[in-house]
Amino acid sequence: MSEKNIDPSDHSIDRRKFIEGSVVFGIAAVGAGAGLVGCSSGETSSGSGSEDNSGQSGSGSTSQSGSGSSLSGSQNGSSSTSSFTNSTGTGFDTSRSTPGAATVYATRDISPEGLLRVYQALGWTPTGNVALKLHMGEEGNTNYLSPELLRPLVEATNATFVDCTVAYGGRRSTADGYASLAADHGFTYAPVDILDRDGAISLPISGGNHLTEAQVGSHVSNYDSMISVAHFKGHSMAGFGGTFKNLGIGLGTPAGKRSVHGSGFSSDDQFLERIVEFSKGAFDHYGLNMACINVLNNLSVDCDCDGNAATPGMADIGIMASLDPLALDQASVDQVYLSNDPGKDALIQRIESRNGTHLLDYAEQLDVGSRQYELVVIDS
């Protein structure tokens, strides 16, 4: 596998200064929000849950290979046969919101239009080629984000679905296998790029205690901007998976994923810290050219990499977006804890049994964002 280094200096900007300096602009964007119109893993499947009933997996047409590139997918492919339907989440508790802090936007409207509105509230515009990083679902899993939920956002930004192969067996262990599975899951209306199809590159990591480089798919260098769209839920090793998990494991090649997991694949604080450090490599590389979205639905205790994930135990909450990845994951965790849904107990137990919030502690220590946030709900 070929490797090369990328200098992040072209994109690496102090995200935190920009985010804190743009709060006024962000609120102004929400002021007009009523008129708005249409942030993968290397662990083995835990097999800890029963089959769920979300019925999100579907079949799609076989994707086509792009000429002169390693993209797969068709702009005119058939839509997913997923049984996804719009839903209204339980909503948001703003008691931990801090006026003037990094802005996190939120909506209860879990629909394609709702996701696009909360994205537009950011007032952020991608430049150049746009990658939309997400998990396109393990075979057998039905909790992954429906491609139909993402369609207006993808079409508005002309984005390409991207992810990397995994460090265990199954269809997602090869680029061709993952591209085929993505098509089966309905990701057929835009290109799908398995980023490590042609090898790896190394992004430098500064300030960490464990890692000095992030081995990511070589196609990362083909994209000028990235939108991380994470399915927020539990995780068998990290406690929860949100934006940091989507990037800190999902962007890694198999070798990159193994560097995060460590030799023992143990669930401990150092594993969580390596997730943060790997993510920091991506954040520093893209700088201000990255936006992050967490979708809080199908809230299983298990990751989308689990082909036999537990049935979601609590009601959907909504969709949240921010330019600050730490504020976004902190706000997402807070909404689980603040929920009145008794079904939250299993997810909270999963988070606490893995000391999952240490990830947030360490991200704050490395100054990857702010744990203080202003929660702005854009619903009328």
- pLDDT, tens digit, for every residue of 52-97? 333 333 333 333 333 333 343 333 333 333 446 788 888 899 999 9
- Whether residue 45 is predicted with pLDDT greater than 50 in this model: the reply is no
- Three-state secondary structure call for residue 148: helix
Burial (CB count <10 Å: 0-12, 13-18, 19+), residue 37: exposed
Q: Which residues pair with 293 in a beta bridge?
A: 229, 321
Tokens of 110: 């879990």
Which of 114-118, 119-123, 309-313, 364-368 bottoms out in mean pLDDT, i.e. has the lowest?
309-313
Query: How does pLDDT run across 243-300, given as a tens digit for each residue?
Result: 999 999 999 999 999 999 998 778 899 999 999 999 999 999 999 999 999 999 999 9
| pLDDT of 16 over the 80 cut | no
Residues 179-199: what's their mean pLDDT?
98
**Whole-prediction pTM:** 0.81
Distance CA 330, CA 356 (A): 11
Helix, strand, coil percent values for the chain (each to nearest 5): 35, 15, 50
Quote the crossing angle between the two packed helices 325-338 and 358-365, to the nearest 10°.
150
Q: List, for residues 303-331, the tens digit of each pLDDT value.
A: 888 888 888 899 999 999 999 999 999 99
Task: Identify the weakest region by mean pLDDT among 238-242, 309-313, 354-358.
Answer: 309-313
The answer to whether 241 and 354 have CB atoms below 8 angstroms apart is: no
Residue 2 has pLDDT above 90, yes or no: no
Q: Which helix (H) or strand (E) holds 15?
A: helix 15-21
**190 half-sphere exposure, CB direction, 13 A CA radius:** 21
CA–CA separation, 128 and 120 (whole Å): 18
| pLDDT of 27 over the 80 cut | no
Q: Which residue has the higher pLDDT, 114 or 2?
A: 114
The per-residue pLDDT for 266 is 80
Q: How many CA atoms lie within 13 A of 195 on its CB side?
A: 32
Q: Is the pLDDT of residue 117 over 70?
A: yes
Is residue 260 within 8 Å of residue 273, measured between CB atoms? no
Residues 6+ apart with CB under 8 A from 227: 39, 119, 126, 130, 131, 132, 133, 153, 157, 159, 290, 291, 292, 293
Q: What does the alpha-carbon distance between residue 250 and residue 188 come to, in Å, rounded to a whole number?
A: 20
Which helix (H) or strand (E) element contains residue 29?
A: helix 23-31
Cβ proximity of 254 and 217 under 8 Å = no
What are 4's two structure tokens? 């090369």
Residue 208 confidence class, pLDDT cut points 50, 70, 90: very high
Rg (CA), the chain: 18
Burial 121-154 (b: 16+ CB within 10 A, else e): bbbbebeeebbbbbbbbbeebbbbbbbbbbbbbb
- As a residue count, the chain comes to 380
**pLDDT exceeds cutoff 70 at 136:** yes
Q: Is 60 exceeded by the pLDDT of residue 172?
A: yes
> Could you tell me what percent of the chain has a pLDDT over 70?
78
Cβ-based neighbours of 300, under 8 Å, separated by 6 or more? 49, 52, 143, 233, 234, 309, 310, 311, 312, 313
